[in-house]
Chain A
Amino acid sequence: MGYTISEKILAEKSGMEAKAGRLVVADVDVIMAHDSLGPMAIDALAEMGEIAIPRPGNICFMTDHLVPTPARNYAQMQKQMREFAKKWGIRQHEAGDGICHQLLAEKEIQPGQIVIGTDSHTCMGGALNAFATGVGSTDAAAAMATGQLWLKVPETMRVLFHGSLPSGVFAKDLVLFLAGQITEDGANYRAMEIAGETISSLSMGGRFTICNMGVEMGAKAAIMEADESTQRWLSQRGVKGAVKSVKADADATYSRVLEFRVDQLEPQIAKPHKVDNVVPLREIAGTPIHEVLIGTCTNGRLEDLEVAAAILRNKRIVPNLRLIVIPASRSILLEAMGKGVLQTLVEAGAEVLVPGCGPCVGVHGGIPADGENVLSTANRNFKGRMGNPNANIFLGSPAAAAAAALEGRIADPRKYLA
């Protein structure tokens, strides 16, 4: 009987039999901690006793959740991380460098690795054919102290997409549709293998968007095979040599196999206050929108900003609406500047924030007022997510977000993309 991608990676990294259901102790290749939950990991390490960190080269610290620092507490937490990183020789990505998941994809992750991070959306790294999963601070501390982590080998759900996405319909629409189908806990404790010709023809950016939201269905990991696009992404990053993809065996065991055709897929929106509360956009077209957020780890890449700019070129957003734009990393910000994308967005009326999580963490940088509706390209629309429990958050693609900014209401973006 064959093995899934997750089983193969976990077996390779643990030296143990890794069929679903087994417990393994695996070497962790990349341990990421960010400024919101990293300090708690450092505290846990101190409580663990006189710990020497065996492989500081496998650890990276990110400064993305609270940049620039909105409060003294967070400034202290970031200082604590900087000092710890300096002491142990840990790579510290600084404020303004970007969102942890984007930086992991740009600088850290390679196929076949085990990646853990103190953030649930660490599963985004699965788009690079790694077993990437979110953990809490204490698990991260245990991995820093031992170089390893215990993991239960998950069952795998295989999700296949066939056909081509219609014009004006994006990876975000696809994954929102999937969340609506699978529901918020439909993949709990499971890995998802996401494949099919639709995925093969997607950019890496689109693949990141999809894997990023795996956890919104409960998934422990959301993994894709590596192909030419993955190879190109890694080569451009400076990774040398041919990429070897970890592939599932033809006779691997899956807990469930789902197949979808996407040729007829329409733009999708997740309504408040649940990510699986998904409807075709047309059903709620016309809903007033007061704030639009384009960015986050889910949709803050150059192609996302470009599609928004294409819709907003030589136009102005409606009066009284706030359009917040946050590139996911410094390199994306620089590219968007170089290509005039930011110029277009700023001329259209956007407020541009520093690469980071921004208002998606609910602390700063765009907290909505009571009764307001937000259309966000982020991954969560929980009540209070953006800092005000009396506001409503709708999730959609960057194109849907840009169209909403133009009209002040939920609108089909396809008419602007013809």
Chain B
Amino acid sequence: MELKGRAHKFGDDINTDYIMSSRHRTQSLDYVQLAQHLMEDIRPGFYSQIQPGDFIVAGDNFGCGSSREYAPKIVKAGQIAAVIAKSFARIFYRNAINLGLPLVECDTDAICDGDVLRVDLLKGKVFNETRNCSISANPTPAFMMTLLNEGGMVNYIRKYGKFRVAKEKG
């Protein structure tokens, strides 16, 4: 499946508080409504700038900070097609895959704010249409691919009832 959308570029260490401050949950627990606050503390008005299918693009350590799973949930509810970053903080990475939000780990230096990107998740390729260049993504770990293919952790457990990981030989 190929995704196409515009890049919204952020820097390093975008933490879960920046994705959305927890103060908004006093008003609503509806993720679509909460998505209006996506990134607003560091980029006011961000939600009004995005179109369904756009990408959040960042530097290193995207999603650091809290284990709050509503962070990737709100990114998904904001109809962001995937997050593309140089690296992801580990809890965010697990949470996003569990929820079925695609993450692409690659060098993002050649992507600027507003660039139009095509992303092939299976092949691990990002093509920057605006700059006519292609970027190779780091491969998604095998078990993460399994979870994504099953539609996330909830579906995986519903189907198998337990974790199925083959014992590797010592």
Cβ–Cβ < 8 Å partners of B27 in chain A: 71, 73
Of A136, A218, A363, which is within 8 A of B22 by CB? A363
Q: Do the beta carbons of A188 and B23 come within 8 Å of each other?
A: no
Q: How far is the CB of B113 from chain A (nearest CB, A)?
A: 20
Residues of B49-80 whose CB lies within 8 A of A:
60-61, 64-70
Q: Do the beta carbons of A23 and B165 come within 8 Å of each other?
A: yes
Q: Do the beta carbons of B17 and A120 come within 8 Å of each other?
A: no
Residues of B118-170 whose CB lies within 8 A of A:
141, 143, 152-154, 156-158, 161-163, 165, 167-170
Complex Cα distance, B169 from A22, in Å, reads: 10
Answer yes or no: B3 CB below 8 A from chain A CBs.
Answer: no
Cβ–Cβ < 8 Å partners of A185 in chain B: 12-13, 60-61, 64, 87, 89
Binds B, one of A222-230, A237-245, A380-388: A380-388
Cβ–Cβ < 8 Å partners of A40 in chain B: 69-70
Cβ–Cβ < 8 Å partners of B41 in chain A: 383-384, 389
Binds B, one of A41-49, A287-295, A326-334: A41-49
Cβ–Cβ < 8 Å partners of B15 in chain A: 380, 382
What band does the interface of chain B fall in when counting residues whose beta carbon is under 8 Å from A? 35 or more
Q: Do the beta carbons of B26 and A363 come within 8 Å of each other?
A: yes
Binds B, one of A140-148, A316-324, A348-356, A399-407: A140-148
Complex Cα distance, B143 from A152, in Å, reads: 10
Chain A residues within 8 Å of chain B by Cβ, number: 56
Answer yes or no: A36 CB below 8 A from chain B CBs.
Answer: yes
Answer yes or no: A274 CB below 8 A from chain B CBs.
Answer: yes
Complex Cα distance, B13 from A382, in Å, reads: 10
Of B65, B156, B157, B170, which is within 8 A of A17 by CB? B170
Cβ–Cβ < 8 Å partners of B153 in chain A: 44, 138-139, 141-142
Cβ–Cβ < 8 Å partners of A16 in chain B: 167-168
Interface of chain A, helix or strand or loop or mixed? loop
Contact A136 to B13, CB < 8 A, known contacts A23-B143, A73-B26, A189-B90: no
Cβ–Cβ < 8 Å partners of B18 in chain A: 382-384
Cβ–Cβ < 8 Å partners of B48 in chain A: none
Answer yes or no: B110 CB below 8 A from chain A CBs.
Answer: no
Q: How far is the CB of B134 from chain A (nearest CB, A)?
A: 26
Contact A362 to B23, CB < 8 A, known contacts A148-B162, A382-B17: yes
What is the 8 Å Cβ interface bit string for chain A, positions 43-84, against chain B (1 contact, 0 not)?
A: 010011101000000000000000000110110010000000
Answer yes or no: A119 CB below 8 A from chain B CBs.
Answer: yes
Cβ–Cβ < 8 Å partners of B23 in chain A: 362-363, 367, 384, 387
Q: How far is the CB of B140 from chain A (nearest CB, A)?
A: 13
Q: Do the beta carbons of B66 and A120 come within 8 Å of each other?
A: yes
Answer yes or no: B94 CB below 8 A from chain A CBs.
Answer: yes
Cβ–Cβ < 8 Å partners of A368 in chain B: none
Contact A17 to B168, CB < 8 A, known contacts A48-B154, A120-B65, A361-B22: yes
Q: Do the beta carbons of A188 and B90 come within 8 Å of each other?
A: yes
Q: Do the beta carbons of A184 and B61 come within 8 Å of each other?
A: yes
Answer yes or no: A24 CB below 8 A from chain B CBs.
Answer: yes
Q: Do the beta carbons of B17 and A384 come within 8 Å of each other?
A: yes
Q: Do the beta carbons of A135 and B91 come within 8 Å of each other?
A: yes
Q: Do the beta carbons of B17 and A44 come within 8 Å of each other?
A: no
Of B29, B64, B69, B163, which is within 8 A of A136 by CB? B69
* A186 and chain B: residue at smallest CB distance: B61
Cβ–Cβ < 8 Å partners of A122 in chain B: 67
Complex Cα distance, B42 from A385, in Å, reads: 12
Q: How far is the CB of A122 from chain B (nearest CB, A)?
A: 8
* A388 and chain B: residue at smallest CB distance: B23
What is the 8 Å Cβ interface bit string for chain A, positions 7-47, against chain B (1 contact, 0 not)?
A: 00000000011000011110000000000110010001001
Q: Do the beta carbons of B154 and A220 come within 8 Å of each other?
A: no
Complex Cα distance, B170 from A16, in Å, reads: 8
Cβ–Cβ < 8 Å partners of B69 in chain A: 37, 40, 118, 136-138
Answer yes or no: A134 CB below 8 A from chain B CBs.
Answer: yes
* A117 and chain B: residue at smallest CB distance: B67
Please list 17 pairs of residues, one from A and one from B, whose beta carbons are closer than 8 Å in the complex, sorted by A's number.
A17-B168, A25-B163, A37-B69, A40-B70, A44-B154, A47-B158, A118-B67, A135-B94, A136-B67, A137-B69, A139-B98, A148-B163, A149-B163, A363-B22, A382-B17, A383-B17, A383-B41
- Chain B positions within 8 Å of A, measured between CB atoms, are 12-13, 15, 17-18, 21-23, 25-29, 41-42, 60-61, 64-70, 87, 89-91, 94-95, 98-99, 141, 143, 152-154, 156-158, 161-163, 165, 167-170
Known: A24-B165, A73-B26, A135-B67. 13 other contacts (CB 8 A): A17-B167, A17-B169, A36-B22, A74-B25, A120-B65, A134-B91, A139-B95, A142-B157, A188-B64, A362-B17, A363-B26, A383-B17, A389-B41
